[in-house]
Amino acid sequence: MQFFLDTADIDEIRQGLDWGVVDGVTTNPSLIAKQGKPYLPTVKEIAELCPGPVSGEVLATDVEGMLEQGRRLAGLADNVVVKIPLLPAGLQAVRTLTEEGIKTNVTLCFSANQALVAAKAGATYISPFVGRLDDVGQDGMELIEDIVEIYRNYLFETEVLVASVRHPMHVHQSAIIGADVVTLPLKALSQLYRHQLTDIGLANFLADWETTGKTFDD
């Protein structure tokens, strides 16, 4: 299973890469807007920092506009994946970009049928948003189960990239189901490391050794 960081914050990406468990990065217009920096240069900076796949999203919603912006994004660096919204025009652009050898990440997926048409269009990744489905009272993880099963049934090569991840249970369930990738904020990634018994156990080990009055070399 791959871990992508869902952020456009350079410091967070540096931190995640230092931990050694981050395989790629996903961004979107909202995340880049939060940084208050220019759009394309931010995607380029991230792609230079992170050796793995870096998703940068088009802002256009018509086919020609998405193709033009998608090609420019892909031209920034070899590891840039073009993120495209799940619209008929978007999937038409995905088909063309795929034929040109450009990798795509189809975003804003909220149903199994949307995932099915994205795979048929040749998407490299599909991004179902689990947290936003949970927010409106639907079960985000049930959608991941369905997509993974459908893709297995028909041997689609499109990778399931679980997005809108909010907490460690989303990661745990994605791993059990067999999703290919989860993209998560740094805070959610840091929560994967934590358990209260680890903290208590470590404090006890160190306190017990402290009672000897000896050092590491004694």
Instruction: Tell me: does residue 129 bind ligand G3P (CB under 6 A).
Output: yes
Q: Smaller CB distance to ligand G3P: residue 60 or 96?
A: 60
Site size toward ligand G3P (CB under 6 A) is: 9
Buried b (16+ CB within 10 A) or exposed e, 111-135: ebebbbbbbebbbbbbbbbbbebbe
At its nearest, how many Å lie between ligand G3P and the CB of residue 33? 12
Structure tokens at 36: 């208050």
Compute the least distance from the CB of residue 148 to ligand G3P, in Å: 18
CA distance 74 to 22: 21
Nearby residues of 93 by Cβ (< 8 Å), 6 or more positions away: 58, 63, 66, 67, 70, 84
Rule CB under 6 A: say whether 183 interacts with ligand G3P.
yes
Query: Min. distance of Cβ 126 from ligand G3P in angstroms?
Result: 12
Minimum distance, C-beta of residue 24 to ligand G3P, in the bound complex (Å): 12
The alpha carbons of the chain give a radius of gyration, in whole angstroms, of 20
Using the rule CB under 6 A, is 174 a contact of ligand G3P?
A: no
Give the residue among 13, 24, 45 at the shortest CA–CA distance from 161: 24
DSSP string, 89-144: HHHHHHHHHHHTT--EEEEEE-SHHHHHHHHHTT-SEEEEBHHHHHHTTS-HHHHH
Neighbouring C-alpha atoms within 13 Å toward the C-beta of 23:
9
Smaller CB separation from ligand G3P, 173 or 183: 183
* CB of 216 vs ligand G3P, minimal distance in Å: 43
The answer to whether the CB of 147 falls within 8 A of the CB of 139 is: no
Helix (H, G, I), strand (E, B), or coil: what is residue 39? helix
Residues 23-42 that bind ligand G3P (CB under 6 A): 26, 28
Q: Which residues are catalytic?
A: 83
According to the binding rule CB under 6 A, does residue 132 interact with ligand G3P? yes
Per-residue mark of binding to ligand G3P, 42-81 (x: CB under 6 A): ----------------------------------------
Report if residue 104 touches ligand G3P, rule: CB under 6 A: no
Name which of residues 139 to 168 contact ligand G3P (CB under 6 A).
Answer: 163-164
Binding site for ligand G3P (CB under 6 A): 6, 26, 28, 129, 131-132, 163-164, 183
